[in-house]
């Protein structure tokens, strides 16, 4: 089998391959016998075998733990398993459904015997905190009693709410949330006037709204006029937008909690069940709400997934009822109703009333989706759809039926159906047109979508993209937008910067992360768009403001990958790779390619694909909206993989057969158009790409960007990089204006870190040494 047969006692040592074959049981018997003899004496070969059969070769993790804990679980752990197996929570009943109207606590509070029903109780002599005289019981529930009262100091009517002390912890929660609501200050949210403690009972004082609740309105008159309904729901959506931005969820949106005051102004009342974002997970057993308006996730008590979209569901149910006079679901028992909310789609509105506009049906249906991810992603999105509907209605473009649709980018647009095709970007301009002299103009025109003529259709599409602009405004501002220069004067000097993608790393809370970011030094902060994935994970404008204002002149960039789709983003759909094998499934869009083996969950994309571009543009739009100062573009170097030939060599400027221009040009186009779009919204918007320094060959790119980041310039996986490569890259970046910094990022430790610092110092570039997961700040230079 081989010439190098191991000799007896100290003979020649076997090759690596022979050893592998031996442990695999593939060696011939004679060879095995001889090898075993050889092993008796040869410690070297024994260690080689030990290495070959080391468990680290199976998996690098978990073994030290196994050594500590042994192969079996401990007795206490086994008992724990046995005990817990008996308490399956899905089999035990939840707390909801218990309608406990025990209000005896109120009787003892005011010192009366519990002899009558509360409705018959005489409380006219009760003055709370020597100031508020109760006059009328407005509502009683297991959670609270609400009274009309007179504020005797100011001689005005108010509403007093007493949270039930019988509901554990409720009073404290209500008080906490009241403080928060008091900061919301929105014309469509009832103002809170006072909060106090009387005889150990917390009470809240709200402004008295002289008007009617929607529930009494529809009780008396049935369905209301569509336009009025839209105006009401729009106002409430706007109130919710404010609340959600501050991380407050109402959780009990229903007609009885919406009032129309004397001027017809809709007011959202009763934040009694409201809860703050960060408290959601503490609410595990707290299932509350009003069943017919409760979302499936709210009923099931999966509080982690209860977020702003739960309020959107409920508001959709309200809209449904306002325009049809019927609730989306009704049943004779709570159990049946619950089952319907879980399983059945609501009846399409137009089956109830065929004269209703199809857009309203669509909007309701979107709100009432069982899966929160299929609803409007935020109150702002719902608001946009409603506003767009109303505007279309007013301008009477009713010839084209209006549809609200959820496009691939998950952002909403409401456009006349015939213009839908324009939600794809227009054909690409030819590269010859893109002369340096006309760079700014072409960029912006391209940003609008189609050639030089700004057709009405193009404008409508554009307004769908940046939906908060009215069409007229866009038409009027056309010339001024085109006149804006897309080039930038640069970021200015940067000495320190922060690059943190996983702010929730190490189990940090959101607040801690913000504080940490505020305290860390750096004129530039690069963070992910969100603290954590999930609907309410995105940083709020307030948080960004805090982080920005913690240090003078600080800018914040949002991370965005151009060359890879990330499976934890909101645009990602599970059916794209349902079996998680790393290859796109049949349902996946054309742009999706195989996963990047180095980063689980990151899939390569055809970045020139129109559909992918739409996703990117929608992301940029959200980033602009969110209040970031700019965007940090990762994987602009994705073209490099495309330039790699089968031989392993690279072909610069390799042509993409799908676009007939180079892969680099495809990337440049993507960056140009997203830059043009963002800067037409905010001219000072920063654009900072990472790597891909060859693109600096392009003068327009050079002008467009504000800085560049370079990863692993000095070391790659703890090995020094090729010095020729370094030189080449440094030559490219030397083309940048002095005002456009070069940010170095190295993933090293110890002595290599020291070496990096020296090299960076020589070059005069700011350097960040961090870990590849980008989940910590403590290694910030």
Partner 1 sequence: MPAHQHWPSTRISLLAGVENTNSQSSWNDLVAIYAPLVFRFAMRKGLSAEDAEEVAQDVLVKITRFHYEPEKGKFRSWLARVTARQIRDQMQKNVNQKRISGSDDFELSNSPSITMGEWEEIYFGRILQIAIRNIRNEFEQAEWNVWEAGQSARDVDLRDLAKSLGKSIGWVYKVRHSINQRLRSELVRLGEDMPVQ
In the range 551-610, which residues lie near partner 1 by CB under 8 A? Answer: 567-570, 572, 574, 580, 600-601
Beta-strand runs (E) in 702-751: 708-711, 715-716, 719-720, 742-746
Tokens encoding 682: 């905010």
Contacts with partner 1 in 304-343 (CB under 8 A)? 304-305
Residue spans of beta strands (DSSP E) within 528-667: 555-561, 564-566, 592-595, 602-605, 630-634, 655-656, 661-662
Q: Choose which of 416, 490, 534, 627 interacts with partner 1 (CB under 8 A).
A: 534
For residues 362 and 366, give the distance between their C-alpha atoms in angstroms, rounded to a whole number.
Answer: 6
Measure the CA–CA gap between 607 and 100, rounded to whole angstroms: 58
Residues 546, 550, 553, 558: is their CA dihedral positive or negative? negative
Nearest to 118 by CA among 139, 148, 132: 139
Name which of 655, 664, 654, 760 is nearest 709 in CA terms: 760
Q: How far is the CB of 71 from partner 1 (least distance, A)?
A: 5
Specify the stretch interacting with partner 1 by CB under 8 A; choose among 82-90, 156-164, 557-565, 759-767.
82-90
Smallest gap from Cβ 310 to partner 1, in A, equals 13
Host H or E run for residue 686? strand 686-689
Residues 232-271 that bind partner 1 (CB under 8 A): none
Give the DSSP letter string of 439-457: HHHHHHHHHHSSSS---HH
User: Minimum CB separation from partner 1 for residue 408, in Å?
Assistant: 16
- Of 35 and 385, the one with the shorter C-beta distance to partner 1 is 35
Segment (H or E) for 652: none
> Beta-strand (E) ranges in 340-420?
402-406, 412-416
Return the number of the residue (72 or 724) whose C-beta is nearest partner 1.
Answer: 72
Within residues 269-308, the interface with partner 1 by CB under 8 A covers 281-282, 284, 297, 300-305
Q: Which of 16, 29, 75, 85 binds partner 1 (CB under 8 A)?
A: 85
Region 677-736 residues binding partner 1, contact defined as CB under 8 A: none
Nearer to partner 1, 171 or 486 (CB): 171
Phi/psi region, residue 553 (left: phi>0; alpha: psi -120 to 50; beta: rest), is left
Residue 37 beta carbon to partner 1: minimum distance, rounded to whole angstroms: 9
CB–CB of 766/731 below 8 Å? no
Q: Which residues within the stretch 88-127 sit at the binding site for partner 1 (CB under 8 A)?
A: 88-91
Rounded to whole angstroms, the Cα distance separating 612 from 39 reads 59
Minimum distance from CB of 278 to partner 1 (Å)? 10
Residue 89 or 683: the one with the smaller Cβ distance to partner 1 is: 89
Nearest distance from residue 771's CB to partner 1, in Å? 10
Contact 720, 726 (CB under 8 A): no
- Identity of the residue, 165 or 325, whose beta carbon is nearer to partner 1 in the bound complex: 165
Shortest distance (Å) from residue 606 CB to partner 1 = 22
Of residues 9 through 28, those in contact with partner 1 by CB under 8 A are 22-25
**Residues in contact with partner 1, shown as a per-residue x/- string from 626 to 665 under the rule CB under 8 A:** ----------------------------------------
Tell the smallest beta-carbon distance from residue 306 to partner 1 (Å).
Answer: 10
* Least distance (Å) between residue 590 CB and partner 1: 21
Binding mask 502-521 for partner 1 (x = CB under 8 A): --xxxxx-------------
Phi-psi region of 115 (alpha: psi -120 to 50; beta: other; left: phi over 0): alpha
State residue 351 phi and psi, 5-degree precision. -75, -25
Q: Which residues contact 691 (CB under 8 A, 6 or more apart)?
A: 635, 636, 637, 709, 710, 711
Nearest approach, Cβ of residue 422 and partner 1 (Å)? 29
Note whether 692 and 671 are within 8 A (CB).
no
Cβ 23 to partner 1 shortest distance, Å: 4
Among 212, 532, 585, 641, binds partner 1 (CB under 8 A): 532
Task: Kindly state the smallest distance separating residue 114's Cβ from partner 1, in Å.
Answer: 30
Nearer to partner 1, 1 or 304 (CB): 304
**DSSP at 644:** B
Closest distance between partner 1 and the C-beta of residue 269, in Å?
A: 30
CB of 596 to partner 1, least distance (A): 15
1 binds partner 1 (CB under 8 A): no
Q: Which C-beta is closer to partner 1: that of 5 or that of 455?
A: 5
Question: Closest approach of Cβ 589 to partner 1, in Å?
Answer: 17
Distance from C-alpha of 595 to C-alpha of 614, rounded to nearest angstrom:
20
DSSP, collapsed to helix, strand or coil, labels residue 366 as: helix
Q: What sign does the CA torsion over 288, 290, 292, 293 have? A: negative
**According to CB under 8 A, which residues from 51 to 80 bind partner 1?**
52-53, 55, 57-69, 71-74, 76-78, 80
Long-range CB contact pairs, 168-174, < 8 A, 24+: 170/143, 170/144, 171/201, 171/202, 172/202, 173/275, 173/279, 174/144, 174/202, 174/204, 174/272
If the CB atoms of residues 504 and 697 are measured against partner 1, the closer one turns out to be 504
Minimum CB–partner distance for residue 57 and partner 1 (Å): 6
Least distance in angstroms from the C-beta of 281 to partner 1: 6
Task: Output the smallest distance, CB 294 to partner 1, in A.
Answer: 16
Closer Cβ to partner 1, 93 or 552, answer by number: 93
**From 3, 29, 87, 120, residue interacting with partner 1 (rule: CB under 8 A):** 87
Count of positions on this chain that bind partner 1 (CB under 8 A)? 73
Choice between 63 and 650, CB closer to partner 1? 63
Among 5, 11, 13, 32, binds partner 1 (CB under 8 A): 32
Among 30, 46, 451, 452, binds partner 1 (CB under 8 A): 46
Member of 12, 36, 684, 722 binding partner 1 (CB under 8 A): 36
Decide whether 568 or 650 has the Cβ nearer to partner 1. 568
- Both tokens of 290, joined, read 């009003």
CB-wise, 396 or 507, nearer to partner 1?
Answer: 507
Give all strands of the β-sheet with 156-163 in edge-to-edge order. Answer: 127-128, 132-140, 144-151, 156-163, 201-207, 192-198
Query: Smaller CB distance to partner 1: residue 85 or 354?
Result: 85
Return left, alpha or beta for 521; rule: phi > 0 is left, psi -120 to 50 is alpha, else beta.
beta
Q: Which is nearer to partner 1, 87 or 437 (CB)?
A: 87
CA distances to 201, 495, 716, 747, 777 from 752, rounded to whole Å, are: 63, 20, 11, 9, 19
| 370/496 with CB nearer partner 1 | 370
User: Which letter does DSSP use for residue 279 in this model?
Assistant: G
**498 touches 768 (CB < 8 A):** yes
Q: What is the DSSP string of 688-715?
A: EEBS-GGGGGSHHHHHH-S-EEEESSSE
Q: How far apart are CA 415 and CA 401, in angstroms?
A: 9
Nearer to partner 1, 74 or 652 (CB): 74
Q: Give 395 or 574: the residue with its C-beta nearer to partner 1.
A: 574
Q: Say how many C-beta atoms besides its own lie within 10 A of residue 663's C-beta.
A: 24
Please, which residue, 325 or 534, has the CB nearer to partner 1? 534
Identified binder of partner 1 from the candidate list 3, 16, 29, 50, rule CB under 8 A: 50
Number of residues that make up the chain: 781
């Amino acid at each position: 089998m081989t010439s190098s047969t191991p000799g007896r006692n100290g003979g020649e040592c076997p090759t690596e391959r022979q050893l592998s074959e031996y442990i695999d049981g593939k060696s011939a018997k004679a060879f095995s016998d001889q090898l075993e003899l050889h092993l008796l004496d040869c410690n070297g070969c024994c260690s080689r075998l030990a290495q070959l059969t080391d468990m680290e070769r199976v998996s690098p993790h978990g073994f030290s733990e196994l050594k500590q804990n042994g192969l079996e679980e401990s007795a206490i752990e086994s008992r724990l398993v046995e005990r817990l197996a008996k308490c399956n929570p899905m089999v035990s009943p939840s707390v909801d459904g218990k309608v406990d109207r025990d209000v005896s606590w109120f009787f003892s509070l005011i010192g009366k015997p519990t002899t009558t029903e509360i409705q018959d109780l005489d409380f006219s002599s009760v003055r709370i905190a020597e100031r508020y005289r109760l006059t009328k019981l407005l509502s009683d529930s297991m959670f609270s009693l609400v009274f009309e009262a007179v504020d005797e100091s100011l001689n005005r009517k108010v509403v007093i709410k007493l949270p039930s002390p019988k509901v554990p912890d409720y009073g404290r929660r209500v008080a906490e949330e009241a403080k928060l609501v008091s900061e919301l200050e929105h014309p469509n949210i009832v103002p809170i006037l006072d909060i106090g403690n009387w005889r150990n009972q917390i009470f809240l004082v709200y402004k008295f709204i002289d008007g009617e609740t929607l529930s009494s309105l529809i009780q008396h008159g049935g369905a209301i006029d569509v336009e009025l309904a839209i105006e009401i729901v729009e106002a409430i959506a706007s109130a919710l937008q404010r609340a959600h931005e501050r991380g407050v969820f109402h959780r009990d949106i229903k007609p009885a909690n919406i009032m129309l005051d004397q001027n017809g102004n809709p007011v959202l009342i009763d934040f009694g069940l409201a809860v703050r974002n960060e408290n959601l997970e503490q609410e595990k057993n707290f299932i509350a709400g009003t069943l017919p308006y409760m979302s499936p996730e709210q009923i099931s008590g999966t509080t982690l997934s209860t977020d702003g979209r739960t309020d959107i569901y409920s508001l959709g149910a309200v809209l449904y009822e306002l325009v049809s006079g019927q609730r989306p679901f009704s049943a004779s028992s709570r159990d049946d109703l619950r089952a319907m909310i879980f399983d059945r789609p609501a009846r399409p509105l137009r089956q109830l009333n065929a004269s209703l506009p199809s857009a309203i049906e669509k909007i309701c249906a979107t709100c009432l989706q069982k899966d929160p991810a299929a609803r409007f992603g935020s109150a702002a999105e719902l608001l946009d759809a409603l506003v767009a509907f109303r505007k279309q209605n007013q301008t009477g473009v009713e010839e084209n039926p209006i549809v609200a649709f959820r496009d691939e980018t998950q952002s909403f647009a409401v456009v006349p159906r015939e213009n839908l095709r324009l939600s794809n970007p227009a054909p690409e301009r030819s590269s010859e047109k893109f002369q340096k002299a006309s760079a700014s103009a072409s960029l912006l025109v391209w940003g609008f979508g189609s050639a030089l003529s700004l057709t009405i259709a193009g404008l409508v599409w554009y307004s769908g993209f940046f939906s908060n602009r009215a069409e007229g405004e866009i038409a009027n501002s056309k010339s001024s937008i085109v006149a804006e220069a897309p080039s930038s004067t640069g970021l200015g000097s940067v000495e320190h910067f922060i690059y943190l993608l996983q702010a929730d790393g190490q189990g940090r809370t959101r607040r801690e992360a913000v504080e940490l970011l505020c305290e860390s030094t750096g004129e530039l902060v690069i963070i992910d768009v969100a603290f954590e994935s999930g609907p309410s994970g995105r940083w709020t404008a307030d948080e960004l403001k805090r982080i920005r204002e913690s240090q003078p002149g600080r800018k914040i960039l949002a991370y965005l990958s151009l060359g890879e789709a990330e499976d934890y983003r909101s645009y990602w759909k599970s059916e794209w790779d349902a079996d998680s094998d790393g290859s796109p499934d049949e349902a996946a869009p054309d742009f999706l390619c195989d996963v990047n083996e180095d980063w689980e969950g990151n899939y390569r994309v055809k970045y020139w694909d129109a559909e992918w571009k739409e996703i990117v543009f929608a992301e940029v739009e959200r980033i602009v909206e969110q209040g970031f100062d700019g965007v940090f573009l990762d994987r602009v170097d994705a073209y490099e993989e495309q330039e790699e030939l089968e031989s392993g060599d690279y072909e610069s400027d390799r042509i993409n057969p799908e676009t007939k221009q180079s892969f680099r040009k495809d990337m440049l186009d993507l960056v140009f158009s997203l830059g043009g779009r963002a800067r037409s919204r905010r001219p000072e918007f920063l654009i900072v790409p990472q790597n891909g320094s060859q693109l600096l060959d392009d003068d327009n790119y050079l002008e467009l960007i504000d800085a560049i980041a370079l990863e692993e310039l000095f070391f790659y996986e703890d090995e020094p990089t090729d010095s020729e490569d370094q030189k080449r890259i440094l030559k490219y970046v030397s083309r940048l204006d002095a005002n456009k910094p070069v940010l170095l990022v190295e993933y090293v430790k110890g002595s290599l870190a020291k070496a990096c610092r020296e090299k960076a110092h020589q070059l005069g570039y700011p350097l960040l040494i961090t870990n590849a997961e980008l989940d910590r700040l403590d290694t910030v230079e």
